[in-house]
Amino acid sequence: MNKAFGLTAIAIFGLTAVTGCASSADSSSQAVPVPTAAGSSADVIYATFHGGKAPGVNTVYGYSATGTVDTNVIQNSPNAPLDEARGMAFDSGGNFYVNSAYKNASQINRYTPLSGGGYGNGITYAPSSLTAGLNHPYGLAVHKSGDLLVTSQDSMVSTRFSTASNTQASVVPTGSAWATNKAVPPGTWAPAVSDNVAASAGGIVTPRDVKVVGDTMYVADSTGYQVKAYNLATGGAFMGVTLDLSKTSPQGGPTGLAVSPDGNYLYVGAQGTNNVLAVAVNGGSCSSGCVSTQVIGSNQGSAVLSHPAGIATTTQNGKLVLYVASQNPGNGVINQYVMSNDTTVQTPSLFVSNLPDTPEQLLAVPTS
């Protein structure tokens, strides 16, 4: 009979690390199924879930490859509740940001590392009252300046926030490339088609994930069937279509994005075609018509991929490892892919099954 063990967690460089099994009296993990983990891992994989009403999971779980699950990543944060948690990111100071996507309470929460492990003292760092652009947030990324970039499903834009204050984010003025467009919400750095910006000129139809490489921001446009690039050094100017899946059959809807540790590849999960592609972005220098190749198919060994969502990348034992949330309607899992190089899978396997809710976003948190 499987038993869920409690975790002893410590903070290393501002990140939570699972270090082993504690007493089974730890009530934070007793009711959660033990993940079936394949292979060794030096990372904890943070996951958010669809959430909403019960039995939805409205917090962050941490999964290790040793058969442990931490349901207490976020603690002591009554002022920063999560409802439909989505994108996650760390800043250089170790602060942990999580999107809370519920339509009537959209916000970005910030949590600080706790001395005993985990994250707490949460605050509503960016409330939706700051700008109409923050409306049902999905993807979240941190620029080298420390600014946050967030995509929102209902405003259909990417908004930029400054993290200069410890108490509340501020909206960075709309990028100069879009500042004359009175239809865009304040803080817009990638506009929506509904803001009278044609898709061919950079307008987004349905934004999902966002990632930043250098000064290049990549946005997954799900029902636009493209990944688009914007220059954060020149006011968010549209740089071109990085990946075009509009001509595939069926059309591929880009959803999850991740960047290789060396910054040379952008990994794109496409829900329409149930695969993951590697796009050669070369440290952010490629923005338009970049070379792409399929890396992960829909069925590789025990790793069945259906409706891919969040993707996380890390390096373990000198090898690149990808984790992909497979929403498999009604039976979501997280798969693990040990790579022989940036574009070739060496060992695909099931990482976590029996999840308590549909997985959304993933984040690999190094333990050393």
Distances (CA, A) of 291 to 265, 343, 346: 10, 12, 21
Q: How far apart are CA 270 and CA 211, in angstroms?
A: 15
Distances (CA, A) of 295 to 114, 257, 311: 38, 13, 13
Given a cut of 60, whether residue 362 has pLDDT beyond it is: yes
DSSP string, 233-302: TTTTEEEEEEEE-TTSSSPP-EEEEEE-TTSSEEEEEETTTTEEEEEE-GGGT--SS--EEEEE-SEETT
Look at 27-31, 189-193, 229-233, 337-341 and tell me which has the smallest mean pLDDT: 27-31
Please compute the mean of the pLDDT values over residues 326-352 and round it to a whole number. 94
Q: Is residue 203 very low, low, confident or very high in pLDDT (cuts 50, 70, 90)?
A: very high
Answer yes or no: are the C-beta atoms of 243 and 209 closer than 8 Å. no
Given a cut of 80, whether residue 58 has pLDDT beyond it is: yes
Answer yes or no: are the C-beta atoms of 329 and 306 closer than 8 Å. yes
Given a cut of 60, whether residue 342 has pLDDT beyond it is: yes
pTM of the model: 0.89
Q: How far apart are CA 45 and CA 86, in angstroms?
A: 14
For 90, half-sphere exposure in the C-beta direction (CA atoms, 13 angstrom radius) is 16
Residue 254: per-residue pLDDT: 97
Report H helices in 97-178: none
End-to-end CA distance of the chain: 32
Residue 329: per-residue pLDDT: 79
Does 1 or 73 have the greater pLDDT score?
73
Does 330 or 123 have the greater pLDDT score?
123
Residue 54: per-residue pLDDT: 83
Please compute the mean of the pLDDT values over residues 142-151 and round it to a whole number. 98
Residue 350 sits at the vertex; the CA angle it makes with 367 and 151, to the nearest 5 degrees, is 65
- Cα of 116 vs its chain's centroid, Å: 25
Distances (CA, A) of 314 to 28, 43, 263: 27, 8, 12
Residue 39: per-residue pLDDT: 42
Given a cut of 60, whether residue 338 has pLDDT beyond it is: yes
Q: How far apart are CA 9 and CA 29, in angstroms?
A: 13
Q: Is residue 13 very low, low, confident or very high in pLDDT (cuts 50, 70, 90)?
A: very low
3-class state of residue 128 by DSSP: helix
Q: Is residue 367 very low, low, confident or very high in pLDDT (cuts 50, 70, 90)?
A: confident
Q: Is residue 368 very low, low, confident or very high in pLDDT (cuts 50, 70, 90)?
A: low
Look at 20-34, 258-272, 308-322, 347-361 and tell me which has the smallest mean pLDDT: 20-34
Given a cut of 60, whether residue 208 has pLDDT beyond it is: yes
User: Which residue ranges form the domains of the chain, and what is each CATH number?
Assistant: 7-363 (2.130.10.10)
One-letter amino acid of 322: L
> Which residues are paired to 107 by β-bridges?
100, 127
Distances (CA, A) of 335 to 178, 289, 341, 364: 39, 29, 18, 13
Residue 24: per-residue pLDDT: 27
Residue 62: per-residue pLDDT: 96
Residue 109: per-residue pLDDT: 98
Residue 249: per-residue pLDDT: 80
Read off the pLDDT of residues 271-321 as tens digits, 9 standing for 90 and up. Answer: 989 999 999 999 999 999 999 999 999 989 889 999 999 999 999 889 999
Answer yes or no: are the C-beta atoms of 355 and 82 closer than 8 Å. no
Residue 42: per-residue pLDDT: 62
Average pLDDT, whole number, for the chain?
A: 88
Look at 28-37, 156-165, 275-284 and tell me which has the smallest mean pLDDT: 28-37
**Which class for 251: exposed (0-12), middle (13-18), buried (19 or more C-beta within 10 A)?**
middle
Instruction: Give the tokens for residue 95.
Output: 């602060």
Please compute the mean of the pLDDT values over residues 192-217 and round it to a whole number. 98
Peptide bond into 250 cis (omega under 30): yes
